[in-house]
Structure 1
Amino acid sequence: MEDGFTMSDPKFKGPTIGVRHVHVAMLFSMLAIGFGMRTNLSVAIVAMTDSKATTNHDIPTYDWNNKSVILSSFFWGYVTLQAIAGELGNRFGTKWLLIIAMFVNSTACVLTPTMAEVGSYGVIGCRILQGMSQGFFYPSVSNLLGQWVPPSERSRAGAISYAGCPFGIIFTMPATGFIAASTLGWPWSFYFLGTLGYIWISVWYFLGASCPAEHPKITNEEKQYIQRSLNATPDEKGGTPWRSVLTSLPVWAFVVAMIGENWGYATLLTEIPTYIDKIMGVNIKSNGLFSAAPYLANLIFTLIFGVICDHIIIRGYVSRGAARKIFQSLATCVPAIALVALSFLPTDATVLSETMLITAVGVNGAIHSGVLINPVDLAPNYSGIIMGFGNGLSQIFSIIAPLAVQFLVTDEEDKSLWRIIFITAAAMFVGTNLFFVLLSSGEVQPWNYSNAKTTTTNNKTTTENEDTPQPEIVKV
């Protein structure tokens, strides 16, 4: 009981649309803008290297023979700073960290047309900077979800936040194509997205905060509801217990699952369209509907699974840890089945193949209620660090997967070579998921509170937050 309310009383949670919901909306929009900038170049580069792709012939075009290098350069920067990003967010808070990251990201985006005049390496430099700055996004999302979202709302809040990723792609692909083909020309696609980034910074400056205790407008009821549900001690966050993090089996279950996810997802999105083109003779990249459909399916499934996951946890049908395992299994096993089936389908089964691609990428949206939200379950105080460590390490494999295709598929029209790639990706999906199912947890780890201040009163040792309810512990 607090100020006449109980934790189960809706009034105790504060306004129906509270400050925590505003933060989830801001995370959604940040990831939408970020993934829009990440995707923008893959569409714009067509107009940048082909004068026939625009109606404005005053717009410069370039004769670049290293387009694959340019497109991959984003990930060179993306894998470098994520663990550091999580640590910085833990030490100094995420509000200003995201302001700086989005500013660098947006500025690099706006400068891309100017740097293109210098040469392809000017664009590569901008993309590396964007990758480095966006390396702060995922760890910051996990950090903020850990500080702002009560466990009973976690799956939905995570799903909505991460749904910004497919939404940004769905929005950017046609918008970039339209702008590039118009009299404005391709440079304005970069200016447009960069401006959205600057607008986001302005809004975030006034509405965002690293934790409820730092927000000037949050109601006392909502702040207490969040802090008590998380058993939070916001003023007593010490150094990261790295030894405990690196020796935790549930943390490594998260890392291994992310490795399999990034390998399999890279195969789904970057290689299956090429396979359908070369083996089945259908270029779905040139079809706007099929280009956007997998991302639209992913967005829809992400939101649906988020609601279902929270519902079955709150109703007590399954524990939190079991729910993570169920949805992660959906996110990996369905795409694995689709990959194996694709490798054996006849070459004239184009509609079935395209449907499988859409279904596989769509159902993979369950990852947002599975492994992606799991760092917040394990350690709300250090979830950004766990996400940065795991996502940074696993992104290396999203680079290796396409390189494996380039090395093994020496003849793109040889179906037996593609079968090796698809079965390997399916094995990565299933094998890493099995590791996650066996060793992951939905329980708050003891080292999450390892830095809580202790006091001694009347020969009784307590933690600073002993008078509050203990966090919900779910053992699996």
Structure 2
Amino acid sequence: MGFETTADKLERPNNFGARHWQAILLFVGMMINYFQRVDISAGIVPMTQSTAGAPFYKWELSQKSLILSSFFWGYVVAQVPAGLLAKRFGAKNVLCIGTAVGGIFCFFHPMAAAGGWIQLCVLRILTGLVQGTVYPCMHTLLSKWVPRTERGFLTTAVYSGAQFGTAVILISSGEIFESSMGWMGLFYISGGLGVAWAALFFWQGANEPAVSRCCSKLERDYIESLTGSNADSQSLAVPWSSIFKSAPFYGLLAAHCGFTWGFYTLLTELPSYMSSVLQLDVKSNALLSSLPYFAMGFLCFVVSPISDLLINRHVLSVTNARKLFNSIGLWVPMACLIGLGYMTADDKINAIVLLTLAVGINAACFCGYLVNHMDLSPNFAGPMMGVTNGLAGVTSIIAPLVVGAILSDEEDPNQWRVVFFITGGVYLLTNTLFVIFGKATVQPWNDAPSLSSTMTLRNHLETDSRTIVPTTDREKENRF
């Protein structure tokens, strides 16, 4: 039920190698990029409250909502171009430039805020544009560096940086706000770390093992034989027509959209639910706010080795493993959300437990849909991630709007129950589509002809057409 080829029998390199160092660098990079993404969510409260030594602004609720959502306007637009740029110019270069520019933008947030909320929205849109490079570039790099026998663990470990980054920002923001820098320090620190990491990764990172200075020949041969990615993949033309005719692609897209809908519903709306219905001020307790994301980050390191173990020992096929873990990651949180809809102010502890489980067990999806791009097409994992993450990003904009349309009274638990039931229904539907249509086998269109090969063939045909032997009598006479 698993997979085994001659390549799988190659000697495994030392326990810690270049691929692990690359994974650590990308994990830190993911954390820092999430600092840039979440800093406005953590900073919007002190930015609109009068505190000693720091400026504040009297923005209306609608203006704050636009500031918070404007990031995604740029983020969604950038996804597909980012995937193509990563494939064309190298994911390392695009990721370094995107992170560095995002870090520089962080430094200008206090200045933009002083100029008005519209200027801050423009800056957040620009931040979203450069942040849109992160996921396509990460997937492009991982498709080159991660052997399929370690795909679940290393990929999940890298992307867990998003959860740890969110948790670190939430838990440390209180200390930063109380420092001499005030809320402005949050943006200065995020910006400085972004520029520093970009410099480090430009020095130590590599697009693939073949160009790495620290990857041994043994490890390079091992990785290249188990990724399924061609050495000349940068010259391959993206087979868009085949991708959009592929049923497994749509199963993957459904799962990605479902995860994103639920994740951002929880991220943006649950603090209001906890405050209004449970009468618990989550924002005043940094540890409680960060707990679900620490749980998710921790569980990433629990479920991913289990997934790889089940696959490598042939207990489950790759396809069945992806479907199983994605089902755990969406359907268990679905049950938690249904239960959360019946919580009251007297059930604070139970509600916190359900909230932590609903977010934490989402980690299993990282061994499901998140690695499935590389399963289907190692050569085009980056562009595919650009498409699915871009369309899924639209749901991160729509989901809060749906919640806003449902809630007329934030203190009414019956209205919140509808919100949770809708989110649970999205989980149920999207994962069902993934279970029905999803696959984890390399698709035929992964080996599309390269651009250079296509041009050579075209030139060859054109040459042949000019040298075809004439068949008419007049043409024969002209030849002689």
Question: Normalising by the residue count of structure 2, what TM-score does the alignment of the two structures yield?
Answer: 0.89
Give, in whole Å, the separation in 1 of the partners of 2:217 and 2:317.
30
Contact 1:104 / 1:129 at 8 angstroms: preserved in 2? no
Which of the numbers 359, 362, 374 marks the counterpart of 1:361?
A: 359
Q: Where does 1:116-135 land on structure 2 (aligned, <5 Å)?
A: 116-135=113-132
Tell me which amino acid in the other structure corresponds to 1:105. G
Which of the numbers 150, 153, 177 marks the counterpart of 1:153?
A: 150
1:271 CA drift (Å): 2.1
Which of the numbers 401, 406, 409 marks the counterpart of 2:407?
A: 409
Specify the SS of the correspondent of 1:344: coil
1:91-111 deviations in Å (ceiling 9; x for gaps)? 221011112111221111111
Give, in whole Å, the separation in 2 of the partners of 1:48 and 1:402.
22
1:381-418 deviations in Å (ceiling 9; x for gaps)? 10011111001101111111111111111112222222
What is the aligned partner in structure 2 of residue 176 from structure 1? 173
1:8 CA drift (Å): 5.9
1:278 CA drift (Å): 1.5
Tell me which amino acid in the other structure corresponds to 2:30. L
Q: Does 1:36 align with 2:35?
A: yes
Change (3 A) 1:318 1:221: same
Contact 1:253 / 1:436 at 8 angstroms: preserved in 2? yes
Tell me which amino acid in the other structure corresponds to 1:403. L
Q: Does 1:79 align with 2:76?
A: yes
Give, in whole Å, the separation in 1 of the partners of 2:107 and 2:343.
44
Give, in whole Å, the separation in 2 of the partners of 1:162 and 1:325.
19
What is the aligned partner in structure 2 of residue 208 from structure 1? 205
Which of the numbers 87, 92, 96 marks the counterpart of 1:95?
A: 92
Give, in whole Å, the separation in 2 of the partners of 1:417 and 1:117.
37
What is the aligned partner in structure 1 of residue 331 from structure 2? 333
1:425 CA drift (Å): 0.7
Tell me which amino acid in the other structure corresponds to 2:24. A
Contact 2:73 / 2:128 at 8 angstroms: preserved in 1? yes
What is the aligned partner in structure 1 of residue 134 from structure 2? 137
What is the aligned partner in structure 2 of residue 195 from structure 1? 192
Contact 1:37 / 1:193 at 8 angstroms: preserved in 2? yes
What is the aligned partner in structure 2 of residue 62 from structure 1? 57
Give, in whole Å, the separation in 2 of the partners of 1:49 and 1:35.
22
Tell me which amino acid in the other structure corresponds to 1:267. T
Q: Where does 1:237-386 land on structure 2 (aligned, <5 Å)?
A: 237-386=235-384
Instruction: List runs of 5+ in structure 2 lacking aligned partners.
Output: 1-5, 454-480
1:7 CA drift (Å): 5.1
1:243-291 deviations in Å (ceiling 9; x for gaps)? 1111111111111111111111222222233223222222223222210
1:397-450 deviations in Å (ceiling 9; x for gaps)? 111111111111111222222222111110100110000001101101111112
Q: Does 1:227 align with 2:192?
A: no
Give, in whole Å, the separation in 1 of the partners of 2:7 and 2:391.
39
Which of the numbers 430, 435, 438 marks the counterpart of 1:437?
A: 435
Give, in whole Å, the separation in 2 of the partners of 1:140 and 1:231.
18
Q: Identity over aligned residues, as a percent?
A: 37
Contact 2:139 / 2:381 at 8 angstroms: preserved in 1? yes
Give, in whole Å, the separation in 2 of the partners of 1:205 and 1:15.
25
1:155-192 deviations in Å (ceiling 9; x for gaps)? 00111100100111111123222112112222222111
Change (3 A) 1:173 1:64: same
Specify the SS of the correspondent of 1:316: coil
1:122 CA drift (Å): 2.2
Contact 1:43 / 1:177 at 8 angstroms: preserved in 2? no
1:174-220 deviations in Å (ceiling 9; x for gaps)? 32221121122222221111111111111111111212222233211
Specify the SS of the correspondent of 2:207: coil
Contact 1:90 / 1:381 at 8 angstroms: preserved in 2? no
Specify the SS of the correspondent of 1:51: coil
Give, in whole Å, the separation in 1 of the partners of 2:185 and 2:267.
26
Question: Normalising by the residue count of structure 1, what TM-score does the alignment of the two structures yield?
Answer: 0.90
Contact 2:230 / 2:379 at 8 angstroms: preserved in 1? no
Tell me which amino acid in the other structure corresponds to 2:57. Y
Change (3 A) 1:184 1:251: same
Give, in whole Å, the separation in 1 of the partners of 2:344 and 2:409.
18
Contact 1:336 / 1:425 at 8 angstroms: preserved in 2? yes
**Which moved further from structure 2: 291-300 or 226-235?**
226-235
Moved over 4 A (4+): 6-10
What is the aligned partner in structure 2 of residue 422 from structure 1? 420
1:134 CA drift (Å): 0.9
1:231 CA drift (Å): 4.1
1:346 CA drift (Å): 4.4
Specify the SS of the correspondent of 2:94: helix
Contact 2:31 / 2:162 at 8 angstroms: preserved in 1? yes
1:20-61 deviations in Å (ceiling 9; x for gaps)? 111111111111001112111222222222232x4xx2x322
1:336-371 deviations in Å (ceiling 9; x for gaps)? 111111223344222111110001101011111111
Change (3 A) 1:232 1:184: closer
Contact 1:91 / 1:239 at 8 angstroms: preserved in 2? no
Give, in whole Å, the separation in 2 of the partners of 1:176 and 1:271.
19
Contact 2:228 / 2:379 at 8 angstroms: preserved in 1? no
1:19 CA drift (Å): 1.5
Structure number with higher helix proportion? 2
Give, in whole Å, the separation in 2 of the partners of 1:340 and 1:176.
31
Contact 2:83 / 2:386 at 8 angstroms: preserved in 1? yes
1:114-169 deviations in Å (ceiling 9; x for gaps)? 22222222221221111111111011111111111110000001111001001111
Give, in whole Å, the separation in 2 of the partners of 1:233 and 1:67.
46
